[in-house]
Amino acid sequence: MTANYHSSKIQKLSLRLQPFVIGLLCIAFFGVGFLVRSLTDPGEPPKHISNTKTPEEVQSEADFGIFWETWKELENAYPFDDEEPSIQSRIYKATAGMVESFGDSHTSFFDPEETELFAQDVKGDFGGIGMEIGMREDVPTVIAPLKDSPADKAGIISGDVVYKVDGEDVLNESLDYIIQKIRGEVGTSVTITFLRKGDDNSFEKTIIRKRIETPVINTETRDDVFIIYFYSFNTHATDAFRKALEDFKISGKKKLIIDLRSNPGGFLESAIEITSMFLPRDTVILREKSGGTDEHVYRSFGYDLVDESISIVILIDEGSASASEILAGALSEYGRAKLVGTKTFGKGSVQEFLPLSDGSALKVTVSRWYTPKGKSINETGLVPDFMSSLTRKDIEDGNDPQLDIALKLLAE
């Protein structure tokens, strides 16, 4: 199978560059641009009322005969006893298949081992190569590499398509399967073949796995501008961002750039808390709907950490998703910030993580969210006020035209 065979799909994928992540795949994250509701989220989310049936009612209406018939035929016909999966493994795979039948790429079943890996991802401490992947146009695509991670140092960029893992074609495999193939013991290597938009040929990278500790924030100053490089809405994000704003105040600067490029999201609670640092109390941050017409409105806590006189520019790209889009969308709609870069990922849904009795878990989409003015960004993303791309050559040459535009805007 050649790279050209998939070129039509690849050319539909917008190439967006720059560092980061948090759902970090491998950080292998279990799906791109995740937005997970914490148990301490403010307010009560909308309730979804459905015609939920009990297991007993399902059993009385559904024909499970074909399931057990298939099980029996496999037992009798499959000749390689030493290769048979365990009974429990079959049950987990069947359960995962049932969940996948809902057709929502953000709704997933995790067996106990995958659940533990997911928990490590959310905490920002795990082994892997430091990139997040998600399905784009039905192919596994790099959303973003973690800055200074093995993937980043290997030259992997947003938009690269994962073609093969250790020689196995994975273009038609599930995201979870690919993630498990890429993950491995710290210190071992994985060889990944990629396809890149604009290139006719595939390219191969052998990358050493390491323990990944997700950075949250870095800061720097450029003349009279303070820059916050914001990489993750993980469990440490709110405290880290508050500390960065305190440093901003101490610096005496009056202009602020927030770099959300390749920041794929995190906890809904973190998004609300951080956006509340900019907006007056009770200002609408986002609207959440689940199923019917019920709407839950999340409002600012009014922390008032940034004076309204401060000029703000936010950098975004295709790797900016979910929680990043909440922050950028709210500040943009209220005129608190200008957006520079390329269109964001377009992740307008919220997931809940539901532990199950044996250590397994469900990550299930429970609602869709909308900007303060009621706009859905799902699949469409946020469009920047000033469009600017960052090319591979820009990165190789150490140039950043998006940041240059932001600095120029703040100098006016």
**What pLDDT digit, counting tens, does each position of 8-23 carry?**
322 222 222 222 222 3
Domain that holds residue 403: 217-350+368-411
Q: Hey, what are 288's tokens?
A: 């959440």
Return phi, psi of residue 63, to 5°.
-100, 105
**What pLDDT digit, counting tens, does each position of 151-184 carry?**
999 999 888 999 999 999 999 888 878 988 898 8
**What pLDDT digit, counting tens, does each position of 343-378 carry?**
999 989 888 889 999 999 999 988 999 999 999 999
- The verdict on residue 341 lying in a domain is yes
- Separation between Cα atoms, residue 261 and residue 345, nearest integer Å: 10
- The verdict on residue 97 lying in a domain is no
Does residue 117 surpass a pLDDT of 50? yes
Token pair 């006719």 is at which residue?
200
**Beta-sheet pairing, 284-289 with 361-370:** antiparallel
Q: Can you name the residues that pair with 266 across neighbouring β-strands? A: 35, 233
Can you give the C-alpha Rg of the chain in angstroms?
A: 22
Q: Is the dihedral of CA 33, 34, 40, 44 positive or negative?
A: positive
CATH at 239: 3.90.226.10
- The verdict on residue 284 lying in a domain is yes
Does residue 219 surpass a pLDDT of 60? yes
Range among 93-107, 143-157, 269-283 with highest mean pLDDT value: 269-283
Q: Hey, what are 273's tokens?
A: 């808390």
Q: Hey, what are 297's tokens?
A: 């409105």
- How high is the pLDDT of residue 64? 86
- How high is the pLDDT of residue 2? 38
Evaluate whether 377 touches 326 at the Cβ level (below 8 Å). Answer: no
- The verdict on residue 259 lying in a domain is yes
Does residue 42 surpass a pLDDT of 90? no
Counted domains in the chain: 1
Q: Hey, what are 255's tokens?
A: 């202009």
pTM comes to 0.70
Look at 21 and 318; give whichever has higher pLDDT: 318
- The verdict on residue 182 lying in a domain is no
List, in sequence order, the alpha helices (H) in 252-387: 268-275, 323-333
String of DSSP letters for 296-313: EEEE------S-TTSEEE
- The verdict on residue 396 lying in a domain is yes
Does residue 29 surpass a pLDDT of 60? no
Report the percentage of the chain scoring pLDDT > 90: 55
Q: Hey, what are 200's tokens?
A: 């006719």
- The verdict on residue 311 lying in a domain is yes
- The verdict on residue 14 lying in a domain is no
Q: Residue 412, CB half-sphere, CA atoms under 13 Å: how many?
A: 8
Given pLDDT bands bounded at 50, 70 and 90, which one contains residue 136?
A: confident
Average model confidence (pLDDT) across the chain: 84
